Amino acid sequence: MRPHRAYSPGLTGVLPLEEGRHLVEVLRAGVGDRFTVFDESREALAEVVDLGPPVRYRILEERRPEREVGVEVVLYVALLKGDKLSEVVRAATELGATRIQPLITRHSVPKEMGEGKLRRLKAIAKEAAKQSGRLRVPEVLPPIPLKAVPEVEQGLVAHVGARALVREVLDLNRNLSLAVGPEGGFAEEEVALLKERGFAPVSLGRRILRAETAATALLAIVTAGEGR
């Protein structure tokens, strides 16, 4: 069986049914096969002891790898057309976001999100966490209007025309909130509201980025770009 990571809250020795089904039916695991289990705080090398269902395992070696950013990183991202939000959720998970909060904004073309799409985004976040070696699966929340964004400890909003660079305003030791608008960007009054809530406008370069690219770029600068 190829190397596999399975999400198992509490590392209880029993896999959630969906995780167990994937292990047995897709990866063809058998009794005695080894794989990795993880939850929000730790991971472990495990061995299959019963194919179930549910699949049962025993822990062989517990590990506490340091793969999380170390502070809360919340991504506020406008609803996007088509399947672009899926790209953002996958990349945001790989880059260390701890929570993803979709926003309804003036220029958002979609103004709502169905339950089916929300479930799919949550599943994408879980798969991306497994693939990237993370312990924590970021929470993907139902969309809220931009005016419902709370005051934040430290915030950055990607904004065309902003002069400040991320490195000039970023404090790596404080919780961080990031905001990225839809196709067409945030309206000026929305940027003003975000500034009142604690977000500093920052530049992502001289070029105009697509909304999904801007979200990935901003996260990459503050996490991967800082070696976190």
Q: Is 181 helix (H, G, I), strand (E, B) or coil?
A: coil
The pLDDT assigned to 227 comes to 62
Q: Is 196 helix (H, G, I), strand (E, B) or coil?
A: helix
Quick one: angle between helices 211-222 and 84-94, nearest 10?
Answer: 10
CB 93 within 8 A of CB 125: yes
Phi-psi region of 79 (alpha: psi -120 to 50; beta: other; left: phi over 0): beta
Residue closest to 87 by CA, chosen among 217, 221, 201, 226: 217
Sign of CA dihedral 98, 144, 186, 199: negative
d(CA 162, CA 23): 48
Q: What is the CA radius of gyration of the chain?
A: 19
Indicate the burial class of 8 (C-beta count within 10 angstroms; 0-12, 13-18, 19 or more). Answer: buried
CB 28 within 8 A of CB 48: no
Tell me the two tokens of residue 81.
């057309």
Number of residues written out for the chain: 228
Q: How many CA atoms lie within 13 A of 76 on its CB side?
A: 29
d(CA 20, CA 185): 42
**Residue 56 backbone dihedrals phi, psi, to 5 degrees:** -115, 150
Q: Is 226 helix (H, G, I), strand (E, B) or coil?
A: helix
The pLDDT assigned to 55 comes to 93
Structural domains of the chain sorted by starting position, each given as residue range(s) with its CATH number in brackets = 5-63 (2.40.240.20), 73-226 (3.40.1280.10)
pTM of the model: 0.80
DSSP-assigned beta bridge partners for residue 157: 179, 201
The pLDDT assigned to 15 comes to 92
**pLDDT one digit per residue (tens) for the chain, 228 residues:** 557 888 898 889 999 988 898 898 888 889 999 999 988 778 899 999 999 889 999 999 888 777 778 899 999 999 998 889 999 999 999 999 999 999 999 998 888 888 999 999 999 998 899 888 888 899 999 999 999 999 999 999 999 888 899 888 999 889 999 999 998 889 999 999 999 999 999 999 888 889 999 999 999 999 886 666
The pLDDT assigned to 2 comes to 57
Sign of CA dihedral 140, 134, 209, 201: positive
